[in-house]
Amino acid sequence: MMVDLASWICLATGGFLVITGGIGLLRLPDFFTRLHAASITDTLGSGLIVLGLALQGGWSLVTVKLLLIMGFLALTSPTSAHALAKSAFHGGIKPELDK
């Protein structure tokens, strides 16, 4: 019962973060803030969803695969967001500081 509750809390929180990040991609003003919303969504939102699925799966090979996916996402998402931001900045795109 407690594992199911923790799993559903992770799934609901992850789903909320993914939806919030999608709204942020549409509403935020410049490339860098949109990139921030996308990287947070990808790292934290999908990580919580995968953790919730791993809790639902119990101790099995599926859980091991889900944890490997979560580790892969935790390593690659911030790295790719940093590389995109750095290349955009060197390409001449400047952040909007004042509105």
Beta-carbon count within 10 A of 26 CB: 8
Beta-carbon count within 10 A of 81 CB: 18
Could you give the 3-state DSSP secondary structure of residue 94? coil
State both tokens at 65. 């695969």
Tens-place pLDDT, residues 8-33: 999 999 999 999 989 988 998 889 98
Confidence at residue 48, expressed as pLDDT on a 0 to 100 scale: 94
Going by the DSSP 8-state scheme, the letter that residue 91 receives in this structure is T
Confidence at residue 99, expressed as pLDDT on a 0 to 100 scale: 62
